[in-house]
Copies of this chain bind each other. A is one copy, B any other.
Amino acid sequence: MPGGPRCRPRARKESKVGVRKKAVAADSVSSVVNRETAASTPVDVQRLNRFVGYALRRAQVAYFGDFARAVGGTDIRPAEFAALVVISANQGLTQSAIALVLGIDRSAGVSLIDRLESKGLALRVPVPTDRRSYAIMLTAAGQELLGQLMTSVTEHEDLMLKNLSKAERDTLLELLHKLY
């Protein structure tokens, strides 16, 4: 996939985060080690599952994890797909406006549009009336790919949401929108 190395090796021994291996004797802890728990007794996740934030994260990870497979060999990531959808519905939007809509920083928008442009899906068109900014447009290839993606992403969502009725799906969408 895309992109070269962006991170460096950590310094060889600097990486010992915190205080490791300082394990204490079991009897310095009030409770006793429960061997059944450590083995294969069902884990209690009741309290954890009451938190919406945790459920949100798990659902999002599951969704994103399957996204790459869903869009096949296109090498389009969720943020890129979202950008394509926004640009398609709002041809000529500036980069900053796109970033604002997507809820990311302007600086993050640069590499997002870079990627779309390098794939031949979008273009930066100079705006004559404001030489600081570019109008972002879909290319014909971008428009066509978006058409395919609308289908494959919709299928992906159908699969992810197969346990939900149509009404539940609408409800989920509506409730999520209330969170931001």
- Taking Cβ atoms with an 8 Å cutoff, the residues of A that contact B are 3-4, 6-8, 10, 14, 17-26, 29-35, 37-38, 43-64, 67, 78, 82, 85-86, 88-94, 97, 101, 103, 111, 114-115, 117-119, 123-130, 133-135, 137, 139-140, 153, 156-157, 160-161, 163-164, 168-169, 171-173, 175-180
Contacts and interface: CB of A to CB of B under 8 A. Distances in A.
B92 A38 contact: yes
Most buried by B among A6, A52, A67, A89: A52
Contacts of A140: 30
A106 to B, nearest CB: 15
B85 A47 contact: yes
20 contacts: A8-B8, A19-B118, A24-B125, A25-B125, A29-B123, A29-B139, A30-B140, A34-B135, A38-B135, A43-B86, A43-B89, A43-B93, A45-B101, A47-B88, A48-B101, A52-B63, A52-B173, A56-B59, A160-B179, A164-B178
